[in-house]
Amino acid sequence: MDFLLRALGFDAKNMKLKTELIAGATTFLTMSYILAVNPSILSGTGMDKGALFTSTAIAAAIATLLLAFMAKLPFAQAPSMGLNAFFAYTLCQAMGYTWQQSLAIMLIEGIIFIFITFFNIRELILDSIPKNLRYAISAGIGMFIAFIGLKNANIIVAKANTFVGLGNFTHECILGIIAILLSGILIARNIKGALFYGIIITTLIGIPLRVTVFPSSGWLPVSVPQSLSPLFCKFDFNGFFNIQTALVIFSLLIVNIFDTVGTLVGLAEKTEIIKPDGSIPHVKEAMMSDAIGTTCGAILGSSTLTTYIESASGIAEGGRSGLTAFFVGSLFLISLFLSPIFMLIPSAATSGALVLVGVLMLDSVKKIDLSDVSEAFPAFITMITMVLCYSIADGICLGILSYVIVKVCTAQWKSLNVMLLILSILFIINFIIS
């Protein structure tokens, strides 16, 4: 037990081994939907879906195990919901990067994240962005993810006259509606693993609807892990070094910092480990595991990783040490042998998870100061343009630009800082030359 105390922070005097393992299983169950959702989203870029499952599981395992041993906290990490959408729909679809170039962007972002974490620069970047814009970015990403879920199930489709509209009630659309309603009901009833159960049940419902399709021959629920070779180190740096790519990397950093810091603070409050001065024990180590995990994820062929708020489910079960995280990481490794089950899941079945993640992320809206138009207006611009421009990066750029312009025109100079002014100039240049 002394080893567990030194390595994972497990104190046998105050903690129970059984409780930590149950907490780990609970956390894994609540966040395991990412094993289905991440390959579903990223495969739309042309990436191999089987290899994506492997990279998702291994990247999540590496990052979570690093967090377990480095930070000794009962949290778990996996590819970020929001940044996988940024990868697929902003970088690859909207901006025209190949998935190989997008992986290169993720690699550089991860390396920079390691650097700024080591030298404590992240606080300077975080503090330069107004709180209301931070909340708006989180809420906007949630709305964007929900929109993707509706689109993937063909509930929302392109329309010539109205741009978007309701799709036809095909079997796929019906299955997507079932997935969304079922996931919402399960969460409303406080069922642990609601999103996971929603995906599995909807996948089964999809069999008689002929949306869930089994391979023609030789299907088994267990197999050897899918090869990583189609994705491993497939970086493309051609035409890479320009102001547009620099701004994209910065946008990624901003979202990642907000996501990670916000989640860590929220989870730390639930574990009651925050010190009287407001600091969080081992927060630098937690951030570093995130940064290293992101870098490893890019090498493996996955999008940016982050700490999952679903870790709160394991904390609620009594998880208090790195042993909880260690068990989560171990379960991600075990899941490598269950890829045939996860590969059966159709995109429509994951729409419930996407929409409900969007619902949960919308919680940050209530923190926005809507009484001050100079704060509410840029926040609204951030959220609405993420969805309508189909781009997280554009939403961040336009949100910051509108914030600076409004504050300048209302002579609220104290609300601005050098970083915001520099960013605004760079964003304007980018829009002019792009």
Q: Are 307 and 260 in contact (CB under 8 A)?
A: yes
How long, in residues, is the chain? 434
What lies within 8 Å, CB to CB, of 76 at 6+ separation is 27, 28, 31, 60, 64, 67, 307, 308, 310, 311, 314, 325, 328, 329
pLDDT digits (tens, 9 = 90+) for 236-268: 998 777 888 888 888 888 878 777 776 776 677
CA quadruple 141, 146, 151, 154: dihedral, nearest 10: 180
Measured between alpha carbons, how far is 362 from 175 in angstroms, rounded to an integer? 24
Sign (positive or negative) of CA dihedral 162, 163, 165, 167: positive
In Å, how far from its chain's centre is CA 167?
27
Residue in the block written with tokens 């740096």: 237
Alpha helix (H) ranges present in 43-98?
49-70, 83-85
Measured between alpha carbons, how far is 395 from 24 in angstroms, rounded to an integer? 36
Give the mean model confidence (pLDDT) for residues 115-134: 80
Question: What angle, 0 to 180 degrees and rounded to 10, lies between the N-to-C axes of helices 131-152 and 392-409?
Answer: 150
Both tokens of 214, joined, read 């089994």
Parse the chain into domains and list their residue ranges: 2-216+238-433
pLDDT digits (tens, 9 = 90+) for 296-344: 999 999 999 988 878 877 887 788 889 999 999 999 999 999 888 888 8
Q: Are 343 and 54 in contact (CB under 8 A)?
A: no
Both tokens of 52, joined, read 């994506």
pLDDT of residue 333: 95
Give the mean model confidence (pLDDT) for residues 16-21: 88
Read off the DSSP letter of residue 411. Answer: T
Decide if pLDDT at 44 tops 60.
yes
Q: What number of CA atoms fall less than 13 Å from residue 219's CA on the CB side?
A: 12
Extended beta strands in 116-162, E state: 156-159
